[in-house]
């Protein structure tokens, strides 16, 4: 097994196995011990009391993080006519229609998020096998299939993240950068948790927020007390 780096070990030494920390303390440990030469991303892994195999227990949504993601998001918009201009004026990096579909079929993938107007989904649907596995396919459930392209472009640029519960019942999502500091990271994490709570399926019984773990790109996971996050 490969040896872990000094930063990883330093965080590990400050974490008591099995302990669920208050959100503030967990974030302070992450921020205070990172030693990477780059600005690490902070990720959250949230285990829910749902069974994604049942359609009525699928948790999927999006949230605009109060403090953004700390990175430049390249937005592609599929639109025509006035909506094409609206997207460009809002700051979209690439706007087009069938010409972009063909470009993607040829291997071009220089974008991070995709928006499409409903009338373009007939063409965009042909890219399902390319965009789907990469989590880039526009979807009305998370607001990326819409005629309100201007607003949506601005939200994605500002740090809107999409999330979807995986087969194991876990939601994985980035919540910011280490350089944000504890306060801004806590605000972002709280926004994600509040959104997930609002999306609780009616058929979900028992404990909904089962566990929360935070980690940096190069660090180990730190468990957070779900009750503390809900009360923060």
Q: Indicate whether 7 belongs to any domain.
A: no
Q: Indicate whether 6 belongs to any domain.
A: no
Confidence label for 9 from pLDDT (cuts 50, 70 and 90): low
Q: Indicate whether 207 belongs to any domain.
A: yes
Least confident of 6-15, 23-32, 97-106, 176-185: 6-15
**DSSP-derived secondary structure letter, 21:** B
Q: Is the dihedral of CA 81, 122, 94, 86 positive or negative?
A: positive
58, 40: one domain: yes
Host domain of residue 88: 75-157
Indicate if the pLDDT at residue 78 is higher than 70.
Answer: yes
Least confident of 40-44, 130-134, 199-203, 217-221: 217-221
Q: H helices within the chain, ranges in order?
A: 6-14, 23-33, 81-90, 98-105, 121-124, 128-131, 149-158, 182-198, 226-231
Would you state the pLDDT for residue 1? 47
Indicate if the pLDDT at residue 7 is higher than 90.
Answer: no
Q: Which of helix, strand or coil describes residue 226?
A: helix
61, 83: one domain: no
Would you state the pLDDT for residue 31? 87
Between CA 172 and CA 163 the distance in angstroms is: 7
Would you state the pLDDT for residue 219? 84
84, 42: one domain: no
Please give the structure tokens belonging to residue 103: 């470009």
139, 166: one domain: no
């Amino acid at each position: 097994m490969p040896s872990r780096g000094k930063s990883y070990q330093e965080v590990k030494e400050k974490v008591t196995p099995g302990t669920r920390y208050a959100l503030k303390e967990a974030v302070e440990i992450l921020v205070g011990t990172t030693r990477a030469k780059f600005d690490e991303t902070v990720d959250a892994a949230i285990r829910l009391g749902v069974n994604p195999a049942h359609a009525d227990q699928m948790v999927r949504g999006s949230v605009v993080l109060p403090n953004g993601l700390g990175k430049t998001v390249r937005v592609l918009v599929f639109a025509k006519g006035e909506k094409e201009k609206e997207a460009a004026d809002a700051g979209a990096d690439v706007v087009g229609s069938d010409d972009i579909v063909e470009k993607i079929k040829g291997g071009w993938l220089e974008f991070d998020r995709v928006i499409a107007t409903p009338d373009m989904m007939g063409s965009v649907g042909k890219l399902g096998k390319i965009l789907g596995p990469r989590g880039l396919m526009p979807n009305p459930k998370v607001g990326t299939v819409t005629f309100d392209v201007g607003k949506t472009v601005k939200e994605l640029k500002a740090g809107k993240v999409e999330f979807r519960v995986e087969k194991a019942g876990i939601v994985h999502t980035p919540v910011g950068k280490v350089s944000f500091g504890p306060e801004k990271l806590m605000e972002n994490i709280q926004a994600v948790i509040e959104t997930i709570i609002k999306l609780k399926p009616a058929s979900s019984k028992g404990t909904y927020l089962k566990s929360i773990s935070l980690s940096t790109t190069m660090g180990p996971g730190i468990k957070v007390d779900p009750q503390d996050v809900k009360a923060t």
